[in-house]
Amino acid sequence: MRILIFGGTGEAIDLANALVRRDHEVTTSLAGVTRKPRLPNGHVHRGGFGGVDGLKDYIGRNDFQLIIDATHAFAATMSHHIVEACEQLNKSHLRLTRQPWRAGPDDKWQQVEDLTQAAQRLPEGAHALVTIGRQHIEPFVLRDDCHIVLRAIEHPEMVLPARVTVMLERPPFSLEGEMALMRQHKITHLVTKNAGGDQTVAKLEAARQLGIEVIMIERPALPRAPEVFSVDGAVKFVADHSASAA
């Protein structure tokens, strides 16, 4: 089966590799946000498509039989385009996403809608660990009354002031490591997106144990689509779809 996966997550890589092992013809599309991404097996497409019309053209020209959205939960524009293109082309599609994190009784969460609101919630003098990636960090950089520790896979392209510390690391992260990091930098607030999953959840447990306040950026609304929450679930969906198509 010819399958197009929209990637950008570890689950997308694992899924592509699993489907290639099952002899499917898989192409993974990468938006190009990360300059040196991990690459899956199969074919790789880099860059954008030019909106819904360009996406429809690409899907049609390559005769993909199944489209899988395995992008980050905050890639809302792409998810909207995928659903719209598939509906117009009458193509089967699936969304592979992570279950969102939920606050427990001992958590200190402030839930906000976007990055600007998150930056505004930091009190004067805060020491904030910011784990939102390297893009769109301006609202935090502009907080000249706070100390910011920015953790990302790659360095931001903008020049940063001395009060912003950059840590370049890839997940997964351990609980012990997260607690040591927060103690070392005297972190008072953790700013993160509700990405879900296991690879970075240790920071939430560390914040809970240390009594650190979490400013949680909630996910954008996405259009309705069939959803699974694991690579195994996506593999089963593909197997069932392939069997019904045959």
pLDDT of residue 231: 97
Q: Within a domain: residue 57?
A: yes
pLDDT of residue 34: 61
**Same domain for 230 and 179:** no
**Same domain for 163 and 83:** no
**Same domain for 113 and 211:** yes
**Same domain for 206 and 230:** no
Token pair belonging to 16: 């592509």
Which CATH number goes with the domain that contains 226? 3.40.50.720
pLDDT of residue 243: 87
**Same domain for 81 and 139:** no
* Per-residue pLDDT of the chain in tens (246 residues, 90 and over written 9): 999 999 989 999 999 999 999 999 999 999 765 666 778 999 999 988 989 999 999 999 999 999 999 999 999 999 999 999 999 999 999 999 999 999 999 999 999 999 999 999 999 999 999 999 888 899 999 999 999 999 998 899 888 999 999 999 989 999 999 999 999 999 999 999 999 989 899 999 999 999 999 999 999 999 999 999 999 999 999 999 988 876
Token pair belonging to 160: 């940063």
Domain span at residue 113 reads 109-217
Q: Within a domain: residue 210?
A: yes
Question: Which residue from 215, 219, 228, 19 is spatially nearest to 129, judged by alpha carbons?
Answer: 215
Q: Within a domain: residue 104?
A: no
pLDDT of residue 226: 96
DSSP string, 214-240: EEEEPPPP-----EESSHHHHHHHHHH
Handedness of CA 89, 84, 73, 77 (dihedral sign): positive
Q: Within a domain: residue 172?
A: yes
Structurally, how many domains does the chain consist of?
A: 2
51 three-class SS: helix
Token pair belonging to 143: 């907080």
